[in-house]
Chain A
């Protein structure tokens, strides 16, 4: 079965500084990878996803992530954060295996932007 690890439960960052949120996964088969964001009092919203092709994926709000198969990672990055980026970020994985394609989520990383 697949699993996702988000090592950092909380990340404080100064406004306009860069940020990287780490995500590692484990799976014995090929995967699809996702980053979702949850703003306060809201549901989750897709930031970006990797299905195939280019390992650098660009998403909404200036975020991007890079799929690294050898390191089984899918870290999320933004070169300059804004106050409005304060939210919880979830990495998720599903496997390319018909009949067992449910999303498995990490525990989340709370990003706090310091003015």
Chain B
């Protein structure tokens, strides 16, 4: 138990659906992250929030829309996804946003797009 929870743990959706992934951290951290983990590829950083402001957006398609309503919660809204978006989506948090910081990861949401 790392103090970072993600729901749902598994999600199957069609290409026309709209769904949201939720992440909650109970560690009092100021930075939160979304990563995409695909087989045989390095973790891809998607979004970074620091003090509820987006500080990084790594050229992610607009069909992924993040939301950070407060420092404890992070959402990833999904719409009109493609089959290649199937992956494990990991949320992480750290005390501050910076290269020295340890990131604490949630268990992930395994997404399958049909």
Contact = CB atoms under 8 A, between A and B. Distances in A.
Interface residues of A, number: 26
B98 A44 contact: no
Interface of A: 4, 9, 32, 34, 36, 41-46, 49, 51, 90, 94-97, 101-108
B43 A43 contact: no
A100 to B, nearest CB: 8
B112 to A, nearest CB: 15
A90 B100 contact: no
Contact of A107 (B41, B56, B92, B100): B41
Given A32-B99, A43-B2, A43-B90, A102 B45 contact: yes
Chain B: interface residue count, which band? Answer: 20 to 34
Contacts of B108: 42-43
Which of B40, B90, B107 has most A Cβ within 10 Å? B107
Contacts of A4: 42
B106 interface: yes
B4 interface: yes
Interface of B: 2, 4, 6, 40-43, 45, 48, 56, 90, 92, 97-100, 102-108
B72 to A, nearest CB: 17
A51 B100 contact: yes
A55 to B, nearest CB: 17
A57 B103 CA distance: 18
Given A43-B4, A43-B106, A106 B100 contact: no
A94 B40 CA distance: 21
22 contacts: A4-B42, A9-B40, A34-B102, A41-B107, A43-B4, A43-B106, A44-B43, A44-B92, A45-B2, A45-B105, A46-B104, A49-B102, A94-B99, A101-B98, A101-B99, A102-B45, A102-B56, A102-B99, A103-B45, A103-B103, A105-B42, A107-B41
Contacts of A106: 42
Nearest to A101: B99
A94 B33 CA distance: 15
Given A96-B99, A101-B99, A43 B40 contact: no
A102 B49 CA distance: 12
